[in-house]
Chain A
């Protein structure tokens, strides 16, 4: 199984999320994570969808089917080494009396994670990184009482102009930026 990151640029319209995810559902492809936000251009959204798949050919077909949606401007499919990508994880750790005291220095220096909120009897630690790095922090923090753990979807930008599969509109892409 190879991890693919699919970046979809769309017009920002109601129901489009549904239209896009149906394409994955019909082909029985599970979405590992999905992030949507508006781009630097007003009215244009960027979906970042992570999937795992055995066949690159199937991913290429998927990209073409997504491009077919009327409101979709462009679709790029990337392998991990072609993108700069990150996720954010938040750990809520109990600091109530009697619990093991937190080794903030190790958390900062070794794991590059930061305490971003001090509650009365808990702290919130933020870690930005790829999933491996995040789960390393998780493994380390397990010695403390983890009250809550949440991880965002992947955000990614391509290292090169084009991905392994790309579908652009007929006109020059630059004119839309």
Chain B
């Protein structure tokens, strides 16, 4: 015994056992490292370890419990659209994930950054048809910018940083991370180290366009007699509103926007001529056929903009400024492609373009404006007979809010009316489902937009059909005390479908009439204030009540039952065939 005691050192140095964190805590730390403040989610079996970890991070990560996973997706979209940062969704496996699918597809087509974190069954159960197992990777592959399945806790930091980088860079889009329950529970075998992803070997979006492309574009623009700028969502994504204004003001070129491009430039700007597309303004559509140079910026020539693409802008040279090279020549051949971020491209172009007097050319638009005003706008706004018209509601809302609100619209006639009659004054003020045309988008997206922009007034314009697709999110709005104002333009019809049936299907109104519930009672059931307006004389007071109400408010306006949105480019027709009635 004595011998042993002699060889023992006096002080025994011990190393503490490593205290590695599990995958769920790693996920929390990764989200914090990305600067995430808000998560829209819904718990369930296969994501429970993450929710358990979230319990410890409540003071740093604001989790919002929605009422349906689709609501989480659209709310995250609304949040992403107004903040420019990725919206984060957290849902469980199987039905939780598949419920998110509509929002993911919507985000992809409208270039909205989302990071969707989805629970998955344990690794050993993968492929066994386990409880709530769905092949979410397979399902979301065609509708995500990138997706990945985490099966090892050690992967969490690297994959989450990649997810945010991919979602938010280049042409933004949704990313889905499927994380197995085992990866959520198991301990990492190394220290948590987080490095923000800056670049990937195979993914390098080009921000600054090639100089020769910029020079070729400038040459074409300077020589143009009738140049025309078409602005898409890409300009707002690039936060290039000021650059666009400077470019247009220097060159004197008229600007039209796509649906999602609206609010990029104030509606009352002298160079703004209106919006393009199926229900866009008369002049901007017709004049695309008169331009000699089209400068398309951050837009993708959607079929709702081009009408029959084979007859679209055949006479014009096209400069296409676009960050996604796959969009170049996809629909319309570009004479000069400028691949890069809209802000960088406009900054590069600005010193090369020359001031030009395009007054005569710009005034040609005004002739069409006069026709549109006389035939459509004035009659819609000065109507004194019959029920309230949608146009009146939007016009009055626009006046009362001074065009300062963020307008979030659903999909259909009310969406087109909101776009026609709201006079946007500030950038980034229209949140709508453009490419996917997702009914049910507005209520959750308005909530998400309000969370993302707490200092701005958010007004949702919703149809009676759309409202019933996601109305349960009233509960989310009330629980989170967000002062969202929602207006239902109620015509007891699926209005846009009815319009098409009237115009193209001999008034055979096949399953478009709705027997609606009492929306205000429903709102009150959720604890939200509301009122119905049926008379024109009460509309102004009703809007004031809504706008002055401290907290969320639902205003139902009973509108003309069979009203049509004009102008209209019938599907498959050329833009020149735009109808005024």
Q: Is there an interface contact between A64 and B202, defined as CB atoms closer than 8 Å?
A: no
- Would you call B202 and A26 a contact (CB within 8 A)? no
Are B141 and A15 in contact (CB-based, < 8 A)? yes
Could you say which of B83-91, B249-257, B323-331 contacts chain A? B323-331
> Are B141 and A18 in contact (CB-based, < 8 A)?
yes
| B: interface residue count bin | 20 to 34
Is B525 on the interface with A (CB-CB < 8 A)? no
Interface mask (B308-331 → A, CB under 8 Å = 1, otherwise 0): 000000000000000011101110
Nearest CB on B from A173, distance (A): 12
Q: A119 an interface residue at 8 Å Cβ cutoff?
A: no
Q: Which residues of the other chain, B, contact A68 by a CB distance below 8 angstroms?
A: 324-326
Taking a contact as CB atoms under 8 Å apart, the answer to whether A70 and B206 are in contact is no
A60 within 8 A of B: yes
Contact of A19 among B141, B166, B324, B330 (CB under 8 A): B141
Write the B465-486 contact mask toward A (1 if CB under 8 angstroms, else 0): 0000000000000000000000
Asked if B204 and A169 make an inter-chain contact with CB atoms under 8 angstroms apart, the answer reads yes
Cβ contacts under 8 Å, B200 to chain A: 70
Compute how far the CA of A64 lies from the CA of B329 in the bound complex, rounded to whole angstroms.
Answer: 10
A11-B201 in contact given A26-B142, A70-B145 (Cβ < 8 Å) = yes
Q: How far is the CA of A169 from the CA of B206 in the complex (A)?
A: 9
Contact (Cβ within 8 A) B201 A73? yes
**Is B386 close to A, CB under 8 A?**
no
Question: Is B137 among interface residues, defined by CB-CB distance under 8 A?
Answer: yes
CB distance from B147 to the nearest CB of A (A): 8
Asked whether any CB of chain B lies closer than 8 Å to the CB of A92, the reply is no
Chain B residues in 8 Å Cβ range of A14 = 149
Give the residue of A11, A61, A170, A176 whose beta carbon is less than 8 angstroms from that of B206. Answer: A170
A-B residue pairs in contact (CB < 8 Å), sample of 21 = A14-B149, A15-B137, A15-B138, A18-B138, A18-B141, A19-B141, A19-B142, A57-B329, A61-B326, A61-B330, A64-B326, A65-B326, A70-B146, A70-B166, A70-B202, A71-B202, A73-B202, A167-B325, A169-B201, A170-B206, A171-B204
Write the residues of chain B forming the contact surface with A, with a CB cutoff of 8 angstroms.
137-138, 141-142, 145-147, 149, 166, 200-204, 206, 324-326, 328-330
A interface residues (Cβ-Cβ under 8 A, vs B): 10-11, 14-15, 18-19, 22, 26, 57, 60-61, 64-65, 67-68, 70-73, 167, 169-171, 176
Given contacts A57-B329, A61-B326, A64-B329, 10 further A-B pairs with CB under 8 A are A10-B202, A15-B137, A15-B138, A15-B141, A64-B330, A68-B325, A70-B145, A73-B201, A170-B204, A170-B206
